[in-house]
C-alpha cells in the first residue's frame, strides 16, 4: 500500500529524492563561458529605446493673436472640420461601436503551424490569409476594419486589412516580450504591454510609438488580463478613459482604476474589502460593456491558488460573489470571467478541487448576472481552456480546450443559450478573435 497522504502533498520531498540537488561539476565551465560573453548594453532592451513621448510631450506655445481674428479663424476651422466629417462619413462604410452588441463577422486564429487563418462559423470554411510560421495572436480591431498580429515569434507587430492584405510592421526594432496585445477602442492604435509600460503603436504608422501608461518603477503592478487576446477589454467603456490594474495603492493591494489622463489610481476592491490574496497576475478582470461594473477573480487568503469570481460596481460598491455554486469541503475555483456583449451574462472557467486531491475541471459556465442561473456548456471532458471569446452578437462562444483535454486545441462553438457544443474542424493553440460588424437588423 502507498502512504495515505495525497500525492501532491508528498511531491516536493519525492522530487527532492529523485533529483538529489548538488552543485554540478560543470559550474566552472559556466563561469568560463560567462567570462567570455559580453553583456548586452542597457539601451538595446526595448524598454530603454522606445520613445517616451507621452512623458515628455509639451504643448507648443502659440504666438499671441488678436481675439476677433481668433474667433473668425475658429469658426472657419469648425466649418472646415464639419465638411470633412460629412464628406468622410458619406464615403466610409459604417462601422460598429467599439463596445456592446455587434454583428458576427469572420473568426481569425493562428493555426498550429503559425499561419493566420480566417474562418466562417456558418459554413465551417477556412482560408489561410498569412502563410508561414511564427505568426500569433491575431485580433480584429473593434470596428472590424483592420487586423493586428505578431510575427517572427512575437518580435514584430503587424497590421493588415482584415483579409491579411497590405501588411505593415509597426515597430522599427525587434520587440521584447509582449504581455497584453490588442487594440485601443478607437481602432487607430495597437496596444502592447512591454514590461510594465502600455505602448500605443499607430496603426497607420503616422506617429511614433507612444507610452500611454508608464510604470513608475517603484510599484509592482499588472494590467489585466495578461493573457487575454483582446486588450480592448482593458479600457473602460464607453470612452476608454481608464484602465484596470492590480497593484499596491493607497488602500493596500487590490484592484484599481487608473485614469489615462493622469491622476492617482482609484481603488475598486482591495484587501481591506476582502480577505484575499491579490497577485500581479490575476486571471482576469473585465469592464461590463456599459462600463458601470467590473467582474474579476480574486484568491481567498485561505486558498491562494484558487479564486472566486466577484462582481462590483466600478466604484467598488455592491460587491458580491458572482455565483452561489458550492460543494461542502471542496475548493471552488472560478476564473477568466468574461462579459457577454449585451452585459447580461458572464462566462467563466470552473474547477472543483475535492479534499481527496481529485480535481474536476468543468466546461465553460455561463452565468446570468441578474438571476445567477447557470448553463454549463455541454458535458464534454475538458481540462481548462486556452481561451474563449463571445461572438459579437452574444449568441455563441468560441472556445479552445486546454492541453491534455480530449478536445485540446480544437476550436469549438458553444450555443450560449443551451450550452450545446460542436466542433468546427479547426485547430488553434490559442483563443480566436471574432470580427465585429454592423448588425444587419
Contacts with another protein by CB under 8 A lie at 1-3, 7-8, 10-12, 14-24, 26-27, 29-31, 33-35, 37-42, 44-45, 47-48, 176-177, 195-196, 217, 220, 226-227, 279-283, 304-305, 333, 335-336, 349, 351, 357, 359, 361, 383-387, 402-405
| Residue carrying C-alpha cell 448588425 | 439
Q: Which of 144, 401 has the CB closer to another protein?
A: 401
Q: How far is CA 272 from the centre of its chain?
A: 26
The least CB distance from residue 299 to another protein, in Å, is 8
| DSSP conformation class of 238 | T
Helix (H, G, I), strand (E, B) or coil at 33: helix
Q: Which of 42, 92 has the CB closer to another protein?
A: 42
The least CB distance from residue 117 to another protein, in Å, is 21
Q: Which of 156, 333 has the CB closer to another protein?
A: 333
Q: Which of 111, 242 has the CB closer to another protein?
A: 111
Q: What does the alpha-carbon distance between residue 196 and residue 165 come to, in Å, rounded to a whole number?
A: 32
Helix (H, G, I), strand (E, B) or coil at 55: helix
- Is the CB of residue 410 less than 8 Å from the CB of residue 427? yes
Residue of 243, 238, 207 whose CA lies nearest to 224 = 243
- Is the CB of residue 115 less than 8 Å from the CB of residue 164? no
Q: What does the alpha-carbon distance between residue 25 and residue 65 come to, in Å, rounded to a whole number?
A: 78
Neighbours of 156 (CB within 10 A): 19
Neighbours of 150 (CB within 10 A): 21
Cβ-proximal residues to 70 (8 Å cutoff; 6+ apart), any chain = none
Q: Which of 389, 405 has the CB closer to another protein?
A: 405
- Is the CB of residue 399 less than 8 Å from the CB of residue 426? no
How many CA within 13 A on the CB side of residue 40?
6
Q: What does the alpha-carbon distance between residue 386 and residue 364 come to, in Å, rounded to a whole number?
A: 12
Asked if residue 276 has a cis previous peptide bond (ω within 30° of 0), the answer is no
Positive or negative, the CA dihedral 344, 222, 188, 112 is negative
Q: Which of 162, 387 has the CB closer to another protein?
A: 387
The least CB distance from residue 397 to another protein, in Å, is 15
Residue of 363, 419, 379 whose CA lies nearest to 396 = 419
Q: Which of 33, 125 has the CB closer to another protein?
A: 33
Positive or negative, the CA dihedral 260, 265, 267, 271 is positive
Q: Which of 196, 435 has the CB closer to another protein?
A: 196
Q: Which of 4, 69 has the CB closer to another protein?
A: 4
Amino acid at each position: 500500500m502507498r502512504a495515505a497522504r495525497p500525492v501532491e502533498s508528498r511531491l516536493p520531498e519525492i522530487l527532492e529524492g529523485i533529483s538529489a540537488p548538488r552543485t554540478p561539476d560543470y559550474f566552472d565551465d559556466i563561469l568560463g563561458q560567462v567570462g567570455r560573453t559580453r553583456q548586452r548594453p542597457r539601451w538595446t532592451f526595448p524598454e530603454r529605446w522606445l520613445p517616451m513621448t507621452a512623458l515628455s510631450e509639451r504643448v507648443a506655445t502659440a504666438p499671441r493673436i488678436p481675439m476677433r481674428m481668433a474667433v473668425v479663424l475658429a469658426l472657419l476651422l469648425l466649418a472646415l472640420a464639419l465638411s470633412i466629417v460629412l464628406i468622410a462619413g458619406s464615403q466610409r462604410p459604417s462601422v460598429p461601436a467599439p463596445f456592446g452588441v455587434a454583428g458576427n463577422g469572420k473568426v481569425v486564429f493562428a493555426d498550429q503551424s503559425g499561419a493566420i487563418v480566417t474562418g466562417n462559423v456558418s459554413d465551417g470554411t477556412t482560408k489561410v490569409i498569412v502563410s508561414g510560421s511564427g505568426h500569433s495572436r491575431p485580433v480584429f480591431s473593434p470596428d472590424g476594419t483592420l487586423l493586428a498580429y505578431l510575427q517572427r515569434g512575437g518580435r514584430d507587430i503587424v497590421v493588415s486589412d482584415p483579409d491579411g492584405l497590405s501588411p505593415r510592421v509597426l515597430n522599427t526594432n525587434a520587440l521584447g516580450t509582449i504581455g497584453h496585445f490588442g487594440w485601443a477602442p478607437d481602432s487607430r492604435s495597437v496596444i502592447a504591454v512591454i514590461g510594465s509600460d502600455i505602448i500605443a503603436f499607430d496603426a497607420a504608422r503616422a506617429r511614433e510609438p507612444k507610452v500611454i501608461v508608464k510604470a513608475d518603477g517603484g510599484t509592482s503592478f499588472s494590467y489585466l488580463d495578461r493573457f487575454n487576446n483582446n486588450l480592448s477589454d482593458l479600457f473602460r467603456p464607453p470612452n476608454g478613459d481608464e484602465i484596470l490594474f492590480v497593484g499596491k495603492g493607497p488602500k493596500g493591494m487590490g484592484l484599481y482604476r487608473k485614469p489615462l489622463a493622469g491622476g492617482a489610481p482609484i481603488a475598486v476592491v482591495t484587501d481591506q474589502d476582502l480577505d484575499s490574496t491579490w497577485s500581479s497576475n490575476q486571471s482576469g478582470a473585465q469592464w461590463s460593456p456599459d462600463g458601470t461594473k467590473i467582474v474579476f477573480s480574486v484568491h481567498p487568503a485561505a486558498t491562494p491558488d484558487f479564486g472566486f469570481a466577484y462582481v462590483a460596481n466600478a466604484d467598488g460598491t455592491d460587491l458580491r460573489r458572482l455565483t452561489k455554486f458550492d460543494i461542502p469541503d471542496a475548493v471552488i475555483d472560478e476564473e477568466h470571467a468574461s462579459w457577454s456583449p449585451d452585459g447580461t451574462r458572464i462566462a467563466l472557467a470552473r474547477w472543483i478541487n475535492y479534499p481527496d486531491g481529485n480535481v474536476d475541471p468543468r466546461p465553460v459556465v455561463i452565468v446570468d448576472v441578474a438571476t445567477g442561473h447557470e448553463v454549463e456548456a455541454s458535458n464534454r471532458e475538458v481540462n481548462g481552456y486556452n481561451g474563449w471569446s463571445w461572438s459579437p452578437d452574444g449568441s455563441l462562444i468560441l472556445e479552445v480546450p486546454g492541453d491534455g483535454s480530449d478536445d485540446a486545441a480544437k476550436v469549438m462553438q458553444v450555443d450560449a443559450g443551451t450550452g450545446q457544443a460542436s466542433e468546427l474542424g479547426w485547430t488553434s493553440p490559442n483563443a480566436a478573435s471574432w470580427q465585429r460588424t454592423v448588425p444587419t437588423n
